Structure 1
């Protein structure tokens, strides 16, 4: 277990692989539940898995210039407040869309395909929790002074070779 918590992913390519794998893993319980006739239970388990994978990613991902070895504080989701804020806003928008869809379905103005109420509630709670975690991280990182001096961005200019 300790080795899993000591893992660090600093490169964006591996982060992308993790996110795609986490998405696939997070949808498996709902698909299995659908096949077994227990979609609601599968969806709830999938939501717990997805939130767990989000929290684990926040522990192991590292940003440019961030120290690799030490563990992040429990509340820190990203290396910079700007990224935390942007992801928090993205999930807040998804939360608003979830709430709007649920309200329209409850009012009978939108056919949700007989989506169970528990799925709507779990989806709203999951998205709201993730939005809160990212926005909280943005506020706390800004208060801690992180990101006030952004590191110099790489220019990606090739080095000139000296010809003797």
Structure 2
């Protein structure tokens, strides 16, 4: 199953974040250690966001082949925008932990990992786009393989 529609992608990401955050809230209410809970929630959110992007496809991407591990979005601009967002979130988490507003800096670790993944995606997609333009190709990065897209998508 590949998810192409933007609205479906947004709903899935919101659902995953709400599910993981709710599980963390329940764990805290049950008396689990706060630092441990933040660490587990951070790790789960990072893994979930990376994992669900494996099912997302842009309109110009082939549906059949799996995305390379580093490709998080269809376009470099989108990866760069997400990298900026997660970098700001990382800075806010670190500032909150340093000033005593948060009991743990664990959320910053997950956000920093997502910043790195999105930055790698942005850089590699930009390089692929430049190579494609030099060869006289499309203004979009090449898909992950030359296989034809499957006719079914969400």
Q: Under a length normalisation based on structure 1, what TM-score does the superposition of the two structures give?
A: 0.74
How many matched pairs?
A: 134
RMSD (Å), alpha carbons: 1.9
Q: 1:98 to 1:42 in 2, by over 3 A?
A: closer
The range that moved more, 40-49 or 134-143, is 40-49
Structure 1 consecutive aligned stretches of length 4 or more whose deviation exceeds 3 Å: none
Contact 2:42 2:109 in 1 (8 A): no
Contact 1:29 1:45 in 2 (8 A): no
The residue number in structure 2 matching 1:27 is: 21
* 1:121-145 deviations in Å (ceiling 9; x for gaps): x111011000110011000111122
TM-fit CA distance, 1:83: 0.5
TM-fit CA distance, 1:21: 0.9
Q: Distance in 2 between matches of 1:123 and 1:47?
A: 5
Question: Does residue 133 in structure 1 map to residue 97 in structure 2?
Answer: no
Structural mapping, 1:1-164, within 5 Å? 7-38=1-32, 39-105=34-100, 112=101, 115-116=102-103, 119-120=104-105, 122-145=106-129, 149-150=139-140
* 1:94-152 deviations in Å (ceiling 9; x for gaps): 112222222222xxxxxx2xx42xx32x111011000110011000111122785149x
Task: Look up the SS of the partner of 1:59 in the other structure.
Answer: coil
User: Higher relative CO (CA 8 A, sep ≥ 6), structure 1 or 2?
Assistant: 2
Q: Larger Rg: 1 or 2?
A: 1
Tell me, which stretches of 5 or more residues in structure 1 are unaligned?
1-6, 106-111, 152-164
Q: Under a length normalisation based on structure 2, what TM-score does the superposition of the two structures give?
A: 0.78
Tell me, which stretches of 5 or more residues in structure 2 are unaligned?
134-138, 142-154
Q: Distance in 1 between matches of 2:71 and 2:117?
A: 8
